[in-house]
Copies of this chain bind each other. A is one copy, B any other.
């Protein structure tokens, strides 16, 4: 039963506990928002005494900031598919798939992000102004290139991006509403596939990247 003896190294202890805390914090912040979350609840969920949290993260805000930053990183990474693609069907299609998968696997992260932005980004405003702005410009340039190459209609690239974010993140942020409207049950594998297919069909057809069925 017992983890036969070998004591954990300091490094393993630190990494393990930080991961435990960040994971618990992400869930609690997602469920209760920054203001509604309590360090005690995060501590309980992580299985550590509250004082231990303050050993690794000096303040609630520092812990929150780390959570949001991690989410932001994952979130940007999901977009690599965009650049490598030869055209909108592959690029936007793969991006929708990737973001829907994140919404399914890590809904808490998406909710924390949404909550942060809804509250006027008190913690990560600098990221919005730098990294996200640059990322957006880059992706808009790609879309414009596709338009010029005649691979899709002359859609406003900015609003297209907003639409991609909105539709995919909706399945995480409003997951509870969707679940309730699904008779209280989470979406099945088939239903998730239907969701992805619907989003991809409407958008890709809507921007003139694919013809009628």
Contact = CB atoms under 8 A, between A and B. Distances in A.
Interface of A: 30-37, 111, 114-115, 117-121, 125, 128-129, 132-133, 136, 153, 155-156, 158-160, 162-163, 165-167, 169-171, 173-174, 176-178, 180-181, 194-195, 197-199, 201-208, 212-213
A34 to B, nearest CB: 6
A45 B212 CA distance: 53
Contact of A176 (B118, B170, B201, B208): B118
A19 B177 CA distance: 28
Contacts of A37: 35
11 contacts: A30-B118, A35-B36, A115-B115, A117-B174, A120-B176, A121-B180, A133-B181, A163-B170, A163-B199, A201-B206, A204-B206
Given A159-B194, A174-B165, A203-B206, A128 B181 contact: yes
Contact of A118 (B35, B115, B128, B213): B115
Nearest to A153: B213
A213 to B, nearest CB: 7
Q: How would you classify the secondary structure of chain A's contact residues: helix, strand, loop or mixed?
A: helix
Contacts of A213: 153
B159 A198 contact: yes
A133 B177 CA distance: 10
Nearest to A30: B118
Contacts of A153: 212-213
Given A35-B36, A117-B176, 5 more contacts: A132-B180, A132-B181, A156-B194, A163-B202, A165-B174
